[in-house]
Structures are given as structure tokens and as C-alpha cells.
Structure 1
Amino acid sequence: MSKYFDVDLARADFPLLAQEVNGQPLVYLDNAATTQKPRAVIQALAHYYQMDNSNVHRGAHAVADRATRAFEAARSRVARFINAEQVEEVIWTRGTTESINLVAQTFGRMVLNEGDVVLVPVSEHHANIVPWQMVAQARGARVISIPLTPTCDIDLEAFDALLAQHSVKIVAVNQVSNALGTINPVADMIARAKAAGAAVLIDGAQGVAHSSVDVQALGADFYVFSGHKLYGPTGIGVLWGKKDLLDAMPPYQGGGEMIETVSFDGTTYNQVPFKFEAGTPNIAGAIGLAAAIEYLEGVGIDNAVAHEESLMHYLLDAVAEMTHVQRVGSPQRSVGIFSFLVPGTHPSDIGMLLDQQGVAIRTGHHCTQPLMQYLNAPGTARASLSFYNTRNDVDAFVQALDKACRLLV
């Protein structure tokens, strides 16, 4: 960790963390569900609504011009953040889910035919399974799952076999598992998929906050993520796609902004990115996301990642001594997500007892029911870290978990 990274200073930027819950200082360990927002993001949202609130691309007045410039500057900010070759490759959506649905219902309908296959790891979020099932059903294609190794890493030998056995047109895989924290070997998988003639979508919802992203170096065809897991607002997301593919894809929705001309004789569509942005966009959300990116880059993503890794090692060392706690999965590489079970208890009971002690975690299937069926688990309890968490947070979590175990086991 950089000696210049001050976690207490960073923590002070997040107002929500200063509160008490159930009479205890809040220990927020549900960052994989959503991250908290720094003052810089909150202030950017307030400034837009107080000073620049107007629709974009349409007004002929000063306020509309300011809103438009801020909105498009946010698109440019995202493009630089992920190293997109062209700013037009950045499409605004409501989040990762809508981004995947857009690709499935446009690109998927273009390339999938009867007998074709979409490959998706068994560990995927529902948002990277169901949209592919929907388009596959409509096109006569199939969605086939890629199995895992005993450590809950993607089985690359099985992946190669599936690529060889089937007419695989699309591979969709998350960069980081939201349920287990596994860092998937996406660069390797992209190369293997490309060699087999398949297109690749990377779900970066969990990965984008835990690593530097360079979409050009990565080599995927699509990369998607949500603002709210990157310290930005809810309701804003990004679809990055290669320009030639976006140009070839039909519009996802019809309405204002996505058109060039409209008549009852026919309609011509706008160019990308506007072709995919029908209606009034989430202007404030885009501006807030740009502020979040600037804030994170000010912290330094390498500093943030190093701090999270240090905390994760500290957490794993602490729970290793707890005989009643069983980690789910032991991936070769992972981010700060600790998914666990206490045999003989239900995860929701663990979550409730921790909440009573001011510790916020997630319990349930984490929108990964196929993974839970694969693991023969009812769900898990999940503690997920961010760079604003501290060793004191981990200590409080371990103490609360120990008390819960003593009450339940």
C-alpha cells in the first residue's frame, strides 16, 4: 500500500459512514451491492439540479448549453477512464443490466441462429444469464454454462472443450464474481473465444472499481458496468462497444434523440452513441459518474486496490481461527469479497444478528441462483470491502460474527 494513502482521510469523504445503526457505529460491508458516495459526487448532483438543470442537445439557451456540455464531458471522462478508442463508443444506460439486455436484443439477434450457443459461466449474475436465455429462445439458440473447478475458478479446460464442441457465437463472462469475489481470467478467455470465432461481452460491474480497465488492451467486443458500484449514482450505467459493431446494431428503443428524421413514410436513425439513447437521459447520473471517476482517480486506484487486498488478507487470517465459519470457494485470485456459511444456520439469521450489532452485510443467493444450486447451498452470507473500510471494521465484523455463531451454533 502506498504510504501516501490515508484511509481515515478518505473515509471522511463519505457522509453515510459516520452514522450509527442500532446504537452501534455503522460498519458497512455491503460494497458489492452498492458503494457509498463521496461528497464530490453528492455536490456534483446538487450543482446540476441547482444551477444547470435542463434537457440536453435540444435547448437554444445558456442553461441547456451548460447541461449539454457537462453531459458530453462526462461521456468523454468515461471514455478516458476505460481507454475507449472513440468517445462515441460509450453508450449511456441505466446500469449493467440494461447494457447487457441492449447487446442481447440487438447484437444477439443479429448473430444467433438455430443451433448456435452462448457460453456463460455457472457463476454469473442473473443479469448475464436471463437476457441471453431470452434472445436464445427467440432465435433457436442455446445458453450453455461453463463449469467451475473445485476452488470455484472457471474451468478453462471445460471452456476450451465447449468452444470446440459447439457453434459458439457469444461468450459472456463477469470480470469479477459478485457472489464469490473470484477474479476471472478474462483476457485469456477473450483470446480463446476469439480464436474460436466468438464475440465476447465482459460484465465489469464488480471489476471496474477494483482494477484499471483498458478496453483496447482487453480485446473484448463489449464491456459494461454500473455507476453505483463505482462510487457514483444509481440509475446510470455504461455500455462500451467496438464502433463497427455498434454501427451495425439496430436501435434498442425508439423515441426522441435516437432519430435523425421522422415521417409516416419512414424514419432514419441517429448515429452512435445517440442511436441507443432514446428519450431524456439520466443527465445528473452521468455527471455524477464523471465526478465519481475523478474522485477515485484522485484517491488512486492502485492505492485503493492495495488497501483492499491488505484488508482481505487481514480478514481471512482472522476468520481462519473461527471453526464454525466456512468460506465458500477458494479462488486463485479474488477481490475483497468474503462469502461464507456457518453450517447448521441460515445465512439470513447471520445477517440479522450482525445488523443488530451495526454490521451491514448481504445474505441470500446474490442473484446467482444457478451458482448456489451448483454449490448445493441455500445462499451465503457475504462481506464485501472497499477502500474506505478499515481494520477496525474488520475487527467489528469478526467480533459480531463470533457472537452470532455463539448464539446460533
Structure 2
Amino acid sequence: MVLDVDFVRSQFPAFKSAGLAGQAFFENAGGSYTCGAVIDRLTRFYTDRKVQPYAPYEASALAGAEMDEARARLAAMMGVEADEVFFGPSTSANTYVLAQALRRLITDTGGAVVVTNQDHEANSGVWRRLAEDGVEVREWKVDPQTGHLDLGALQPLLADGAVRMVCFPHCSNVVAELNPVAEICAMARAAGAFTCVDGVSYAPHGFPDMTALGADIYLFSAYKTYGPHQGIMVMRRAVGAALPAQCHYFNADTLYKRFTPAGPDHAQVAACAGMADYIDALYAHHIPGGTAGPLARNNAVHDLMRAHEVRLLQPLLDHLAARNDLRLIGPRDAGRRAPTVAVALDRAAEPVAAELAKHGIMAGGGDFYAVRPLQAMGVDVAQGVLRLSFVHYTTEAEVTRLVAALDAVL
């Protein structure tokens, strides 16, 4: 079965926008277009339901019900319970709250935390700063040539049983290699450690199946998964109970409130149900009459997305690898990575992105908050990298156009 890209694009108002006409979007890793189902729900909430939720009058009851719907449907898609899904203002904020909880746990019981230098700073810096409070921070380092995280280098960090949390990315926002999440989580679990997986750069290519991954905590950003600007965190019940609550004391007995210090954005939480609407619409279009449950529907759509992305990505990787005026970061095999392609050039990247814009290519240049992995691989951070990222609504014609524009500009 092949993804129907025309149908996909019909679900996104951006492709009908006069302001975006004639441009091809290749900075999706910074934030995707928003699907129509999310926009419709957000508009309806602000128009009809923008009141304090969960009160006994109709508008309030509808507001609360839609917020509950978002949590329940996203949880079902990912194979977890509804109260294991948390909403926060951003993934960076959610990770900060987690780090404060772990700091208290380790202060009370002792232990260490493992971080990588492959991560975006959001899932690295907050954990590293725990060292200021006496927490031992151990670094799992990438291969300086490839950016790869070797499992053999993780084992010694876990050997003494002192690690309480292993923090790593599903894939990096510049290296883009798909890390073996299930295997890493199994290693950590065997050593008595919890796992915190930064899924921000992977979730746009398919929402996670939490049972298959085996992660204790999985974080991603709704604004990169076709939704509103919210951070979404999945936390399994065992780790949620073990970590000290970071909420108002009277909310501590409700799992999904334990790590939300302030009230969430009601409208944006409600609008997140539109992401589930979108996944269901893709499933219904491609598998008419299908009767699979939410998790199986999500996994089927994930596979459609990934197959399309891999097919478009390989020719781009091959073209870039054949050039001698750039360094392609990460694997050259499309099946081993996300379609987030960073290249180090023989010049500063940001002016190149500006030149690509003249050709109707929307891309970015810079460090993308991935200073540590770039430095580890010997990339000049002052020059940065050119990042070309796409998702399943990208077309083959747009990738062809990107290659032509790169040839013209470089």
C-alpha cells in the first residue's frame, strides 16, 4: 500500500495558503504544518468553549470533555492509559520538571544519571545541571566521525547499578539515526534504571507504540506532530509513582497532574484531539472498512508514513553523499534514519539557507540547539549546518526541486 499524498495534503490548510504558494517546506524538524482537524478544534474551543473547564454548565462541561477526549485518544493510540499522558507548555519545560523530580529522588536515595552528547539541549542541559546539586552525571558519547551511539559504550556506565535514569533521543535532530530504543530501555531496566526518551525528532514520522519501545518516559512536541504548541509527555505509572510530585499538593494523587506545576493551556490540550482525528482519517482513507483498534490504526499509519519518507529520502542522501563540498551527517541509509538531513558545508550555513529561499525552498541553517553533538563531531558551530527536513506530506517533486536548488546554490 502506498501513501496517498494528495489526500494527505488535502488535510492541511497550509497547502491552500496563498502566502505559501510556490514554496517547498524543508524545515519541518523545527515545526510541522498544522492539520485542519486541529485548527477546527482550536477555533471551536476559542469560539464556543473558552471558559474554565469542568464546571457544571454546558460550555464548561464541553470544554472539559474535549480535554479529556484528547488525553484518552492519544493514550489509546500509543498503547497507554489515559492518566499516563501529560500536557505541558513545551518539551523543554516538561523535561525541566522531570529533572527537578529526579534531583529530589537522588538527593534522598543516591544515584547517577546518564545523558548523551547526541541530544538536543532540551534533553541534555537540564539533566547535566543536576551536577551542580551533587548528582553524578555520566555521559554516553557519540562516535566523533558518525555521530552513532554504541550500545557497547553504554554498558560500563550502567555496570555498578547506581544509575537512576538514562536519558537519550529516539533520534537526534541533526544526526537523525534511529536509536534502538527497545534495546536501550531493556539494558537500563536490567540495571535498575528508568529511561527518558526524547522523541521530539521522531514522533513527526509516527506516534510511538509505547509497549513496543518499553520506555518509561517519552516526550515529544505537538507542534511538530501537526498540532498546537504543547509538550506531550507519556510517563508509565511505575516511574510516575516513584518520582516526587511537582504539582500543587492536592493534585498529587492524580497521575497526569503530578508533573504539571501549573494549569495547562485548555484550548491547546483540547485541540490535540485533532491529531487523533487526523491519524484516524488517514487510516480510514487507506484501509476502508478497517476495524483495527486505536493502537493498530496508529501503527498502520506510522508504517505508511515511514515507507513514503524512506522512498523520498534515499535519492536525496545519495545525491548529497556524492558531493565533495559538504559533509553529510548521520547514516546514508534512509531506512536507518529520520528524514532530517544536516550537512556541514564549506561555508556558513545560514546564508545558504537564505539563497535557497530565493528558489522557493524553506530550510534553515544554524546549530538547532544541537551544539554538543556538532562539537563532538568536529563541526564548526559558528558556521552551523544546513538542515533539510521533511515529513510524509512532502512530495517527490518537492525533493527533486530541492536537489536542483542545492545544485544551483552550492
TM-score w.r.t. length of structure 2: 0.88
Q: % of aligned pairs identical?
A: 26
1:48 aligned to 2:45? yes
Q: How is 1:212-223 mapped onto 2 (pairs within 5 angstroms)?
A: 212-223=207-218
Partner amino acid, structure 2, of 1:39: G
* Counterpart position of 1:105: 100
* Counterpart position of 1:247: 241
Partner amino acid, structure 2, of 1:277: T
Cα contact 2:115–2:137 (8 A) shared by 1:
no
| Distance in 1, Cα, partners of 2:337 & 2:391 | 13
Cα contact 2:161–2:192 (8 A) shared by 1:
no
Cα contact 2:174–2:329 (8 A) shared by 1:
no
> Secondary structure at the residue paired with 2:53?
coil
- Say which of 281, 285, 290 aligns to 2:264: 281
1:311 aligned to 2:312? yes
1:61 aligned to 2:50? no
- Say which of 357, 360, 371 aligns to 1:358: 360
Cα contact 2:101–2:244 (8 A) shared by 1:
yes
* Counterpart position of 2:405: 400
Cα contact 1:35–1:230 (8 A) shared by 2:
yes
| Distance in 2, Cα, partners of 1:118 & 1:79 | 27
| Distance in 2, Cα, partners of 1:230 & 1:400 | 27
Which runs of 5 or more residues in structure 1 are unaligned? 261-268
Cα contact 2:130–2:137 (8 A) shared by 1:
no
| Distance in 2, Cα, partners of 1:297 & 1:306 | 18
Q: How is 1:120-159 mapped onto 2 (pairs within 5 angstroms)?
A: 120-148=115-143, 150-159=145-154
| Distance in 1, Cα, partners of 2:82 & 2:134 | 32
RMSD over aligned CA atoms reads: 2.3
Partner amino acid, structure 2, of 1:246: G
Question: Offset at 1:226?
Answer: 1.2
Greater Cα offset, 330-339 or 283-292: 330-339
Question: Offset at 1:115?
Answer: 7.6
Partner amino acid, structure 2, of 1:376: G
1:99–1:154 distance in 2 versus 1, CA, 3 Å: same
> Secondary structure at the residue paired with 1:37?
coil
Greater Cα offset, 358-367 or 109-118: 109-118
Which runs of 5 or more residues in structure 2 are unaligned? 283-300
1:346–1:113 distance in 2 versus 1, CA, 3 Å: farther
- Say which of 369, 382, 386 aligns to 1:381: 386
- Say which of 386, 390, 395 aligns to 1:390: 395
Partner amino acid, structure 1, of 2:357: D
* Counterpart position of 1:264: none
| Distance in 2, Cα, partners of 1:294 & 1:112 | 43
* Counterpart position of 2:66: 70
| Distance in 1, Cα, partners of 2:46 & 2:253 | 28
* Counterpart position of 1:31: 28
Partner amino acid, structure 2, of 1:81: M
Partner amino acid, structure 2, of 1:195: A
| Distance in 2, Cα, partners of 1:148 & 1:78 | 35
1:181–1:21 distance in 2 versus 1, CA, 3 Å: farther
**Count of residues paired in the alignment:** 387
Partner amino acid, structure 2, of 1:147: V
Greater Cα offset, 185-194 or 279-288: 279-288
| Distance in 1, Cα, partners of 2:107 & 2:209 | 28
> Secondary structure at the residue paired with 1:273?
helix
| Distance in 1, Cα, partners of 2:79 & 2:365 | 35
Q: How is 1:4-23 mapped onto 2 (pairs within 5 angstroms)?
A: 5-19=3-17
| Distance in 2, Cα, partners of 1:202 & 1:293 | 22
1:339 aligned to 2:339? no
Q: Could you list the per-position Cα deviations for residues 239-273 of structure 1 after superposition, in whole angstroms to 9, with x for gaps in the alignment?
A: 2212233234333244xxx626xxxxxxxx44222
Question: Offset at 1:229?
Answer: 1.1
Question: Offset at 1:211?
Answer: 3.4
* Counterpart position of 1:88: 83
* Counterpart position of 1:266: none
Partner amino acid, structure 2, of 1:13: Q
Cα contact 2:309–2:391 (8 A) shared by 1:
yes
* Counterpart position of 1:259: 250
Partner amino acid, structure 2, of 1:342: L
| Distance in 2, Cα, partners of 1:142 & 1:318 | 40
Question: Offset at 1:279?
Answer: 4.0
| Distance in 2, Cα, partners of 1:104 & 1:280 | 19
TM-score w.r.t. length of structure 1: 0.88
| Distance in 2, Cα, partners of 1:297 & 1:325 | 41
Cα contact 1:112–1:141 (8 A) shared by 2:
no
Greater Cα offset, 89-98 or 145-154: 145-154
Cα contact 1:20–1:358 (8 A) shared by 2:
no
| Distance in 2, Cα, partners of 1:213 & 1:310 | 21
1:246–1:175 distance in 2 versus 1, CA, 3 Å: same
Question: Offset at 1:19?
Answer: 4.8
1:241–1:112 distance in 2 versus 1, CA, 3 Å: farther
